[in-house]
Chain A
Amino acid sequence: MNTASDALIRLDGVTKTFGSTTALKNASLQVSRGEIVVLLGLSGSGKSTLLRHLDGLEVPTSGEIEVLGAKVPTLKGKALRALRSRVGFIFQQFELVPSLTVLENVLTGSLSEVRGPRLGLWGYSKAAKLRALEHLDRVGLLDRAYQRSDTLSGGQQQRVAIARALMQKPDILLADEPVASLDPESSDQVMALIREIAADEGLTVVCSLHQVDLAISWADRIVGLRHGEIVLDTPTGDLTKAEVMEIYGRVATTTAEIRAVQDELTEITVDVAQLDKARAS
Chain B
Amino acid sequence: MTVLSDPPRAHATPARTSVADRAPRRPISAERIAAGLTLLALLVLGILAVDEVGISIPAMVQSWGNAENFMARVGGLSFPEPADLAWLIALTVGLVLVGTLLAAALSVPIAYLAASNTTPGNGWRAAARFVGVLTRALPDVVLAMAFVLMFSLGTLPGILAIGIHSIGMISKMFADAIEQIDEGPRLAIRAAGGSKMQEFASGILPQVLPSWVATVLHRNDINLRGSVVLGYVGVAGLGLEMSYAFKSLNYGKGLGIALVIFVLCVVMEIVSSLVRGAMLGQQRQTRSWIDRIIHPRLRGATGAATTERPEWAASPQTAVRRPWTAERMRNTTGIVTAVLVVIGSVVVSQINWMDFFTFWAKLPEVAAKFWPPSFGNYEASAMIAAMRDTVAIALAATVLTLLPSLILGSLAASNVAPGAGARGIARFLLVGIRGIPELILAIVLVVITGLGAQAGVIALAIGGIGLLGKLIADSLEEVDRGPERALRAVGATRLQTYASATVPQGMQALIGHSFYMLDTNIRAATILGIVGGGGVGYYLLNASQGSRYETVTAIVLMILVTVLVVEGLAMWMRKVFR
Q: Is the CB of A91 within 8 A of B184?
A: yes
Q: Is the CB of B195 within 8 A of A145?
A: no
For residue B377, CB closer than 8 A to chain A, the reply is: no
Measured CB to CB, the closest approach of chain B to A146, in angstroms, equals 5
Q: Is the interface of B mostly helix, strand, loop or mixed?
A: helix
- Cα(A116)–Cα(B199), bound, Å: 10
Q: Is the CB of A97 within 8 A of B203?
A: yes
Q: Is the CB of B320 within 8 A of A130?
A: yes
Q: Which listed segment binds B: A1-9, A104-112, A235-243, A254-262?
A: A104-112
User: Which residues of A are found within 8 Å of B205, using beta-carbon distances?
Assistant: 119
* Partner of A112 from B184, B187, B192, B328 at Cβ < 8 Å: B192
Chain B, interface size category, equals 35 or more
Q: Is the CB of B202 within 8 A of A108?
A: yes
User: Which residues of A are found within 8 Å of B184, using beta-carbon distances?
Assistant: 91, 93-95
User: Which residues of B are found within 8 Å of A148, using beta-carbon distances?
Assistant: 282, 301
Q: Is the CB of B328 within 8 A of A146?
A: yes
Q: What are the interface flags for B171-208 relative to A under an 8 Å C-beta threshold, 1 for contact and 0 otherwise?
A: 00000000000101101111111110110111101110
Q: Is the CB of B316 within 8 A of A142?
A: yes
Q: Is the CB of B198 within 8 A of A117?
A: yes
For residue B381, CB closer than 8 A to chain A, the reply is: no
User: Which residues of B are found within 8 Å of A142, using beta-carbon distances?
Assistant: 309, 313, 315-316, 319
* Partner of B193 from A82, A119, A152 at Cβ < 8 Å: A82
- Cα(A88)–Cα(B185), bound, Å: 14
For residue A96, CB closer than 8 A to chain B, the reply is: yes
- Assuming the A-B contacts A96-B185, A97-B207, A137-B315, are A117 and B200 also in contact, with contact meaning beta carbons closer than 8 angstroms in the complex? yes
Q: Is the CB of A85 within 8 A of B301?
A: no
Q: Closest B-chain residue to A114, C-beta based?
A: B198
For residue B317, CB closer than 8 A to chain A, the reply is: yes
- Cα(A94)–Cα(B185), bound, Å: 8
For residue A143, CB closer than 8 A to chain B, the reply is: yes
For residue A220, CB closer than 8 A to chain B, the reply is: no
Q: Closest A-chain residue to B323, C-beta based?
A: A146
For residue B120, CB closer than 8 A to chain A, the reply is: no
For residue A55, CB closer than 8 A to chain B, the reply is: yes
For residue A161, CB closer than 8 A to chain B, the reply is: yes
For residue B322, CB closer than 8 A to chain A, the reply is: yes
Q: Is the CB of A164 within 8 A of B188?
A: yes
Q: Is the CB of B323 within 8 A of A89?
A: no
* Partner of B198 from A57, A88, A118, A133 at Cβ < 8 Å: A118
User: Which residues of A are found within 8 Å of B5, using beta-carbon distances?
Assistant: none
For residue A84, CB closer than 8 A to chain B, the reply is: yes
Q: Is the CB of A151 within 8 A of B302?
A: yes
Q: Closest B-chain residue to A83, C-beta based?
A: B193
For residue B210, CB closer than 8 A to chain A, the reply is: yes
User: Which residues of A are found within 8 Å of B418, using beta-carbon distances?
Assistant: none
Q: Is the CB of A81 within 8 A of B195?
A: yes
* Most A Cβ at <10 Å: residue of B301, B302, B319, B325: B319
Q: Is the CB of B207 within 8 A of A111?
A: no
* Partner of B194 from A81, A88, A145 at Cβ < 8 Å: A81
Q: Is the CB of B200 within 8 A of A111?
A: no
Measured CB to CB, the closest approach of chain B to A161, in angstroms, equals 7
For residue A158, CB closer than 8 A to chain B, the reply is: no
Q: Is the CB of B325 within 8 A of A146?
A: yes
User: Which residues of B are found within 8 Å of A81, using beta-carbon distances?
Assistant: 193-195
Measured CB to CB, the closest approach of chain B to A112, in angstroms, equals 3
Measured CB to CB, the closest approach of chain A to B275, in angstroms, equals 16
Measured CB to CB, the closest approach of chain A to B177, in angstroms, equals 13
User: Which residues of B are found within 8 Å of A204, using beta-carbon distances?
Assistant: none
Q: Closest B-chain residue to A93, C-beta based?
A: B184
- Cα(A224)–Cα(B197), bound, Å: 38
For residue A279, CB closer than 8 A to chain B, the reply is: no
Task: List CB contacts (< 8 Å) of B283-315 with chain A.
Answer: 300-302, 309-310, 313, 315
Q: What are the interface flags for B323-334 relative to A under an 8 Å C-beta threshold, 1 for contact and 0 otherwise?
A: 101001000000
Q: Is the CB of A146 within 8 A of B300?
A: no
Q: Closest A-chain residue to B183, C-beta based?
A: A95
Q: Is the CB of B187 within 8 A of A108?
A: no
Q: Is the CB of B209 within 8 A of A168?
A: no
User: Which residues of A are found within 8 Å of B188, using beta-carbon distances?
Assistant: 89, 91, 95-96, 108, 161, 164
User: Which residues of B are found within 8 Å of A94, using beta-carbon distances?
Assistant: 184
User: Which residues of A are found within 8 Å of B200, using beta-carbon distances?
Assistant: 117
User: Which residues of A are found within 8 Å of B310, using beta-carbon distances?
Assistant: 143
- Assuming the A-B contacts A146-B325, A161-B188, are A168 and B317 also in contact, with contact meaning beta carbons closer than 8 angstroms in the complex? no
- Assuming the A-B contacts A130-B317, A130-B320, A146-B325, are A97 and B202 also in contact, with contact meaning beta carbons closer than 8 angstroms in the complex? yes
- Assuming the A-B contacts A99-B206, A118-B198, A130-B320, are A84 and B193 also in contact, with contact meaning beta carbons closer than 8 angstroms in the complex? yes
- Assuming the A-B contacts A98-B207, A99-B209, A133-B319, are A111 and B313 also in contact, with contact meaning beta carbons closer than 8 angstroms in the complex? no
* Partner of B191 from A89, A100, A121, A146 at Cβ < 8 Å: A89
Q: Is the CB of A117 within 8 A of B193?
A: no
Q: What are the interface flags for A157-184 relative to B under an 8 Å C-beta threshold, 1 for contact and 0 otherwise?
A: 0000100110110000000000000000
User: Which residues of A are found within 8 Å of B207, using beta-carbon distances?
Assistant: 97-99
- Cα(A164)–Cα(B184), bound, Å: 14
* Partner of A109 from B182, B192, B323, B325 at Cβ < 8 Å: B192
4 nearest CB pairs, A to B: A112-B193, A117-B201, A85-B193, A133-B316
Listed A/B pairs (6) with beta-carbon separation below 8 Å? A81-B195, A97-B206, A111-B195, A142-B316, A151-B302, A153-B302
Residues of chain B whose beta carbon lies under 8 Å from any beta carbon of chain A: 182, 184-185, 187-195, 197-198, 200-203, 205-207, 209-210, 282, 300-302, 309-310, 313, 315-317, 319-320, 322-323, 325, 328
Residues of chain A whose beta carbon lies under 8 Å from any beta carbon of chain B: 55, 57, 81-89, 91, 93-100, 104, 108-109, 111-112, 116-119, 121, 126, 129-130, 133-134, 136-137, 142-143, 145-148, 151-153, 161, 164-165, 167-168
Given contacts A112-B193, A146-B328, 6 further A-B contacts (CB under 8 A): A82-B193, A89-B191, A111-B195, A112-B194, A117-B202, A165-B192
